Amino acid sequence: MCGIVGYTGNANAAEILVNGLKNLEYRGYDSAGIAVLNENKLNSYKSKGSLDMLEDKLANNGKIVAGTGIGHTRWATHGVPSDFNSHPHSDCNGKITIVHNGIIENYQVLKKELLTKGHKFDSSTDSEVVVHLLEDLYEGDMVQALIEVDKLIEGSYAIVAISEDEPETIYGLKKDSPLVAGIGREENYLASDIPALLSKTKDFYIFEDDEIAKVNREKIEFYGLNGKLLEKDVFEADWDADMVDKKGYDHFMLKEINEQPDVARRIMADRFTETDIDLGDIEEILAGDYKKIMITACGTAYHSGVIGRFLIEEFADIPVDVEVASELRYKKNFIDKNTLMVVVSQSGETADTLAALRLAKKQGAKVVALTNVIGSSVDREADSSFQLMAGPEISVASTKAYVAMVLVFYLLALKLGNLNNNISKARLKELIAGLKRLPYRIQETISEFDEISKEIAESIKDYKSVFFIGRNIDYALALEGALKLKEISYIHAEAHPAGELKHGSLALIEDGVPVFAITTRENVAMKTLSNIEEVMARGGQVNLITAKNIEYDKIEVDNKLILPEMDNIWSSVLAAIPLQLISYYTALELERNIDKPRNLAKSVTVE
């Protein structure tokens, strides 16, 4: 979603802002802008479209000399993508300007009052009320004005402001939307996300809600809502700037698919004894006595949770509910102190997931988070966190973080099963040996299915609809396969429990319609094979993704993708890979914007 960068120092602020924003392009945006303080005058440059278009605009304005500025990439919520709705937004006199991520929920009421007072608005955004409020409340002390603004606005916000009165200072305030301060040498930064600044610094202060930062070249000060100075710890990021490079791949998505063997290795390094798994800090919470487990997440992370449910129920014999986070707080949830809540979020900032986490804590549940971003809101607010260690995921379509989530659910399920004495030592030993082999099998799967994935992509690219079927854990994979395909190729894709097809959607199967069937589990594979027959009888094109030891010979399908041989338990990890590759190559055939699909954002910080 929207991205923010702020800078103050001796370098060329415009260049630093645009480069920082480029590092956040992956989050998705539809317009961009910067404001810089040039000889104590505020100048804004904004453009609908890409950062390249903003750069053209900047180039047309000659050399912009400025040491302080703020920049923003906007993902439209209130008001269409346009130059005038782009941030930064300035007050009536053009003396103060702000950028904002999030949503100001009470902006209509505030705007009405501000209009009555004579303020002039230039945009149809919710964000613009913030700068007019600052204009009203500023009496020479920006920290105080931001404290007052914080009391008036409702919703989620990361706000960065500059003013002509203090040409070398940038200010930040946040609630429910991430903001960090980057520590440099005689220069300092603000940004919505750490990757924006990784090429500049590894040292950060992470904002807590309702904290205000005053940032100038020499120092960064944090204030609470009572106006008192706060002590903050420095957070050292362990991601490298080159981790956000394409490293020769055409797209981040393909690079990230190929990183999956290493991700698996990192997750599993130093975790195993012969018959036990070390899950670090979260073990204390796992050892509690729970009546049930609830998993909550959104999108792809939710799909990993559906797999998690099957695994935990199978290995640990504990009932598990899995809920879409955006739905959880609008239903009766039965969460209490006897519930172990597992919250899954790659970014750790997904607004709905965060809201579900807070609700669970409020109702007394213990919360374990699985997240890829240390220091993210989910990471900090959970009782304990497990790091997915996938490294920065830049492609909007999640691949390596998804596989990391699935793997962590395996570890979690086996650990809980061991704690419950539900798995014999001998079986656990076998399973641990399987886990250790998994990175090699993931590598093999990527290499083996690259070519066939291209061929399948070519064969499905012109269809309007594609179906994915599977039963049990294979249905969870079908859900993810359909999401991956639709989000980057824009082909309509639906997943069904295989047995459900004949209760409606079979009506859509006709000559050539592509159907992906997944059969990795013996106990349901034969049933799914019958459903495949039903599809073939109607002329559907069947692509079967199957584990080696399933009796797939019984059926002649259009394409058979046979996963590398290993205990079928692990096939759910492996089966995800051809699904990712087929989606990637289909989107490539269709010349889609693979890493930044239309209308989508990497980190969904609004509800």
What residues are annotated to the active site?
2, 602
Helix (H) / strand (E) element for 321: namely: strand 320-324
- Shortest distance (Å) from residue 326 CB to ligand F6R: 10
- Shortest distance (Å) from residue 591 CB to ligand F6R: 20
Q: In the bound complex, which residue of the shown chain has the CB atom lying closest to ligand F6R?
A: 299
| Calpha distance 412→386 (Å, rounded) | 10
Tell me, what amino acid is at 21?
A: L
- Shortest distance (Å) from residue 11 CB to ligand F6R: 32
Task: Please give the angle made by the CA atoms of 500, 502 and 508, to the nearest 5 degrees.
Answer: 110
Give the tokens for residue 3.
């991205």
Number of H helices, E strands in the chain: 17, 27
- Of the pair 159, 357, the CB lying nearest ligand F6R is at 357
- Of the pair 298, 532, the CB lying nearest ligand F6R is at 298
Handedness of CA 407, 409, 415, 418 (dihedral sign): negative
| Calpha distance 440→479 (Å, rounded) | 25
- Of the pair 360, 555, the CB lying nearest ligand F6R is at 360
What are residue 175's DSSP bridge partners? 157
Which ranges of 363-493 would DSSP assign to H, the alpha helix?
377-381, 400-419, 425-460, 473-489
For residue 80, which phi and psi values (nearest 5 degrees)? -65, 160
- Of the pair 530, 599, the CB lying nearest ligand F6R is at 599
What are residue 403's DSSP bridge partners? none
- Of the pair 350, 418, the CB lying nearest ligand F6R is at 350
- Shortest distance (Å) from residue 73 CB to ligand F6R: 18
- Shortest distance (Å) from residue 355 CB to ligand F6R: 12
Give the tokens for residue 156.
């989620």
Give the tokens for residue 165.
């009165």
The binding site for ligand F6R (CB under 6 A) comprises: 298-301, 345-347, 350, 353, 397-398, 483, 487, 603-604
Report how far apart, in Å, the C-alpha atoms of 161 and of each of 135, 329, 500, 506 are.
Answer: 11, 33, 54, 56
Which ranges of 117-163 would DSSP assign to H, the alpha helix?
128-137, 142-152
- Of the pair 425, 492, the CB lying nearest ligand F6R is at 492
- Shortest distance (Å) from residue 345 CB to ligand F6R: 3
Q: Measured in whole angstroms, how far is the alpha carbon of residue 304 from the centre of its chain?
A: 13
Q: What is the 3-state secondary structure (H, E, C) of 456-470?
A: HHHHHCCCCEEEEEE
